Structure 1
């Protein structure tokens, strides 16, 4: 059988959307008819050879998605999919059975497809690391991103006060719709002054760079900083005296390092929360598989609110 797939043929080159042979599933594999695939920064890093550079090339990329097996909806994530073996940016794919998680009733496939990264990261950073309660005052940096906007929705529904930060004034009303009590528009230079009124007890930081130092300065005594990305820069200067004098805690989330069973548990919880309307995930842009390289560019430019998904139903 043939499948149309987005293939990495050489690191640093655009992906090629082409027809390839689909192998027959082994005893511990299953063939899935794909519907949607999530697009994440790590997919771009894999295409560039910055992540999993030693994995087979050519191969199909795409590490998370949703589709049908025998007419039943499943999320696909983990167990090497898109990293050490062919991924799911294809009309059909062969994946390990262990990479499948049933989609709960009431959850649309398009939303389920992007929960493996954004949903799990939001759920685990808020509940496992940040341990947010209704008494917390939360600041979410980069709040219009796929994970940031999901965190805003989850924190809001937990009953905590949540402010979102964005560099684009056009995101203000959109973030309010996700649950933000207030939106701080601006860059790192005036961040501390702008959030002084909030005195956040928890800050979620996907940006890194100079934002991390500013987040530390903004935190209330005994506050928690949760870092899960460095899209604004992989290094920065932090005020060490503030950390120990204010008894701050700095917590890092590296989901890609977690074993599959830990990630699966988080995915089950996140999907359940989505089905029960305890969080929401926004797919801000859906593109056809043929536009996969455009999707990767949009990721690089951070040009989309929420998540980007590929429609894999027609190739």
Structure 2
């Protein structure tokens, strides 16, 4: 059997090719893929910043959604795109344990983004921060995939939510995700304007100077959930404010979490879509042949919500 796949031939060299799909072994299944999310981690993998020692050539893609025996499913985890062939292909041989059923009410283009971004948002909002109606929540990078999911979930929990972005063009999208106010600017803005908001929870995927600013803005007894460092892996932390205000810092381990826990979080994300607590905004579905366009959009931070590859017609 042959299918079209996005292959990483060398770091920084991606090409769409026709590949042979082998027969599944025991405890494996053959999934007909429909959509796959394009995540920042996929960009990092393509450049060799993540999984630099992974086999070459290999198919990229860390998650996706398709059909298995007439049923909608998500495929996620198990080293897809990093240690083994990934999800950016028309068909995929996957471990049976990597497959999660999708409720009929959830479209496949939305399901494709829930194995990573959806699970991350659920774990951060519900398990780490335990957001409740009394909270005032500040979401940094609120126009991103995870950021928009967190905004939606926190608002559904009854919290007052503010979002941050560096681009005024993304403000309407953030309010559409559930934020009552949008801060447009850098870490200095967070240090000034967010302090007046007195957030009880800050979600931070940015790192760099933003983390220290977030700690300074948090209300005494507040919680900081750090799940990324796209603005810089090193930053200054105001230690006196951290300990004198009793701030709790939670780090989200992501793919290092227990696989069963991540699978459970993905299922909970799917349930949240069904109930309306989680709104999935798909920026656009890019044909697989335009994968370079998709990677460039991620690199340039042009995406509002999630970007997916359309793997089949």
Tell me the distance in 1 between the aligned counterparts of 2:94 and 2:78: 9
Q: Deviations over 1:174-200 (max 9, x none)?
A: 211111011111111222221233100
Per-residue CA distance 1:242-292 (angstroms, 9 max, x = gap): 101111011110211112111101111111111111111211122111111
Determine whether 1:274 maps to 2:251.
no
Secondary structure, counterpart of 1:222 in structure 2: coil
> Helix, strand or coil: the match of 1:286?
strand
* Root mean square deviation, CA, Å: 1.0
What is the number of residues matched between the two proteins? Answer: 313
Question: SS state of the match for residue 101, structure 1?
Answer: strand
Contact (CA 8 Å) 2:205, 2:230: kept in 1 or not? yes
Name the CA distance, whole Å, in 2 between partners of 1:12 and 1:186.
31
Deviates further, 1-10 or 189-198 = 189-198
In 2: Cα distance, 1:190 partner to 1:268 partner:
36
**Do the aligned partners of 1:105 and 1:275 also contact (CA within 8 Å) in 2?**
no
Match of 1:174 in 2: 173
Q: TM-score, normalised by structure 2?
A: 0.98
SS in 2 for 1:86: coil
Is the partner of 2:41 in helix, strand or coil? helix
Distance 1:157 1:133 in 2: 9
Whether 1:69 aligns to 2:68 is: yes
CA distance in 1, matches of 2:202, 2:138: 5
More displaced, 166-175 or 134-143? Answer: 166-175
Equivalent-residue separation in structure 1 for 2:189 and 2:33 (angstroms): 45
Q: Counterpart of 1:6?
A: 6
Residue aligning to 1:26 = 25
What is the alpha-carbon distance in structure 2 between the residues aligned to residue 106 and residue 137 of structure 1?
31
Structure 1 runs not aligned, ≥5 long: none
Instruction: Provide Cα deviations, 1:143-176, integer angstroms capped at 9, x if missing partner.
Output: 0000001111110110000000111112222211
Distance across 1 between alignment mates of 2:257 and 2:175: 33
Q: Where does residue 190 of structure 1 map in the other structure? A: 189
Question: Distance in 1 between the 2:179 and 2:11 partners?
Answer: 39
Residue ranges of structure 2 left out of the alignment (5+ in a row): none
Partners of 1:197 and 1:115 in 2: CA distance: 34
Q: Which runs of 4+ in 1 moved over 4 A?
A: none
Q: Does 1:154 align with 2:150?
A: no
Whether the 8 Å contact between 2:139 and 2:164 is mirrored in structure 1 is yes
Corresponding residue for residue 210 of structure 1: 209
Q: Tell whether the 8 Å contact from 2:183 to 2:189 is kept in structure 1 after alignment.
A: no
Superposition TM-score, scaled by structure 1 size: 0.97
Q: 1:89, 1:308 → 2: CA distance?
A: 13
Structure 1 residue 83: Cα displacement: 2.0
Cα distance in structure 2, aligned partners of 1:298 and 1:4: 22
